[in-house]
Structure 1
Amino acid sequence: MTPDDIHFRVPAVADAEAIARLHVASWREAYSAIVPASVLDAVDVADRIARWQGYLASEGVTFLAEAGGGAAGFIRAGVPDKPMVADADGHIFALYVLQRHHRRGIGRRLLALTAAEWLRRGGRALSVGVLTENRPALAFYRGAGASFAQADTYRWDGHDLPESIYVFRNLPDLARFA
């Protein structure tokens, strides 16, 4: 598969099921050694579909990457209820790419599209939270230009997981890859 086989678009509410299934599959791939198996096993796909229907009907920023005729990755960003970092006016709530599509530029392009859209909407900076034990994700965000802002804790189904908060302050640099 060549980069030409990868397509990026703004998803519609009708894409909620495909994104929800990709989301759950990505969690299980990325977090199997980090998050307790009981938590990952308890994830309800039907609940995720309903959540994604709501997300896709909202004002957030969402992009979907498709490869080989199916969903390969996605990103969702927007204004957080509570800012994670003082100077970040937006937050990346989720960015996942299925492992079989890693190292093809999909994550970088999803970030770039989001940065460009955030700038278009008048935004200045985007924060992102990453489970601290997810070393590949930490390296990805640092390589894309994010800087460490602070340590935090992410509470997932009654489990406190160490989280690192990063921030993209130079969105124009990131957006040039859109």
Structure 2
Amino acid sequence: MKIREAVLADAPGIAQVHVDSWRTTYSGIIPSQYLANLSYEKRTDLWKRNIARADNFVVGAETNEGKIIGFADALERETNTVDHSSDLTSIYLLKEYQRLGTGKKLMNELFHHFTQMEVSKVFVEVLEANPTRFFYEYYGAELVETLQMEIGGVTLTELVYEWDDLEDVLARL
């Protein structure tokens, strides 16, 4: 298992993980028709743009054979107005690679990046029904806001968490 910064050539692999992990993670949460309509091609275009952005830090997890099996990224959201802060915008893994420590390794890379960027607060937004929120809570994230959002015609509850002690998070990782 290797964790490394993503390059443009990783976009198709990241897109596949993005689509496939949404379909497994959000099954029963987001309408199945919405999940079925997710496109590898559109997500590849999205990830080409995301990886090319200078302000977006994207890391991938790959097998020893070079297959992308997970990714994470950090980007200050446009809605984030807090000084010296950033956002953990995603961590996704293929289902068969979950609970093996890969998410922890991806998060570790992001938090090292945050400390290098002299960020003092990190936010993450996660659907309330997504069990990943417990992963974030385990590493010290504190709930700061609850929002409503719509995906596929369904209103869902989104939780906003904050970390304000990055060194503590790194020590836990």
Give the residue type in structure 2 aligned to 1:66: E
Pick from 95, 99, 115: which aligns with 1:103? 99
Alignment partner of 2:77: what SS? coil
Please state how far the C-alpha of 1:34 moved relative to its aligned partner: 0.4
Q: Distance in 1 between matches of 2:49 and 2:149?
A: 22
Q: Which residue is equivalent to 2:88?
A: 92
Matched, 1:76 2:70: no
TM (normalized to structure 2)? 0.91
Give the residue type in structure 1 aligned to 2:102: I
What is the percent sequence identity of the aligned residues? 27
Please state how far the C-alpha of 1:68 moved relative to its aligned partner: 4.7
Please state how far the C-alpha of 1:160 moved relative to its aligned partner: 2.4
Please say if residues 88 and 167 of structure 1, whose CA atoms lie closer than 8 Å, have aligned partners that are also in contact.
no
Q: Which residue is equivalent to 1:33?
A: 28
Please say if residues 154 and 163 of structure 1, whose CA atoms lie closer than 8 Å, have aligned partners that are also in contact.
yes
Pick from 108, 115, 118: which aligns with 1:122? 118
TM (normalized to structure 1)? 0.89
Please say if residues 2 and 64 of structure 2, whose CA atoms lie closer than 8 Å, have aligned partners that are also in contact.
no
Please, what is the CA RMSD of the aligned residues?
1.8
Cα deviation 1:58-113 (Å, max 9, x = unaligned): 121111111252112110111110118x4671111111111211111111111111
Give the residue type in structure 1 aligned to 2:68: A
Decide whether aligned partners of structure 1 residues 164 and 171 sit closer, same or farther in structure 2, where only a CA change above 3 A counts: same
Q: Which residue is equivalent to 2:40?
A: 45
Matched, 1:156 2:151: yes
Please say if residues 86 and 123 of structure 2, whose CA atoms lie closer than 8 Å, have aligned partners that are also in contact.
yes
Decide whether aligned partners of structure 1 residues 68 and 52 sit closer, same or farther in structure 2, where only a CA change above 3 A counts: same
Q: Distance in 2 between matches of 1:43 and 1:120?
A: 35
List gaps (5 residues or longer) in structure 1: 1-5
Q: Which residue is equivalent to 2:62?
A: 66
Please state how far the C-alpha of 1:44 moved relative to its aligned partner: 1.7
Please state how far the C-alpha of 1:12 moved relative to its aligned partner: 0.3
